[in-house]
Amino acid sequence: MSTPSGFDELIHPSTRLSVVALLAATEWADFPFIRDSLSLSDSALSKQLHTLEEAGYLEIRKEGGGRKRRTKVRLTSRGRTAFEGHVAALRAIVEGAGPTAVAAPATESAAAASGSGQQHQRAEAGR
């Protein structure tokens, strides 16, 4: 199976996907909100935000100074487009593995289990 169009290797790791999904639902988000929502450490979140910012997927603003400094983050239009394309690609992958693809192996497994179950019942009856 080939990778569907729109699949984004940069967004795909679960932490980055969680960050981008969270940001897709809002205009701007504060660093502590993202950190706490995703149960990440400051350093882990900073690393992921930096990677996504370098790709042009995020805009990061630092406001205020000293102890009142706040970091705000938002998806850029490029980031939103990449996220939407990645979600569409994931849906295509999941739909490609629909009931027909899953049903065949399950049916074979059920038949095999049924056959071995009958053999086990015969062995128990013979004792």
> pLDDT tens for residues 95-127?
887 665 545 455 444 444 444 444 444 444 443
For the segment 61-76, the average pLDDT, to the nearest whole number, is 93
| 72 three-class SS | strand
Residue with tokens 């960050």: 19
Q: Rounded to two decimals, what is the model's pTM?
A: 0.73
For residue 125, how far is the Cα from the chain centroid?
A: 50
Query: For the chain, what is the total number of helices (H) and then of strands (E)?
Result: 5, 3
| 16 three-class SS | helix
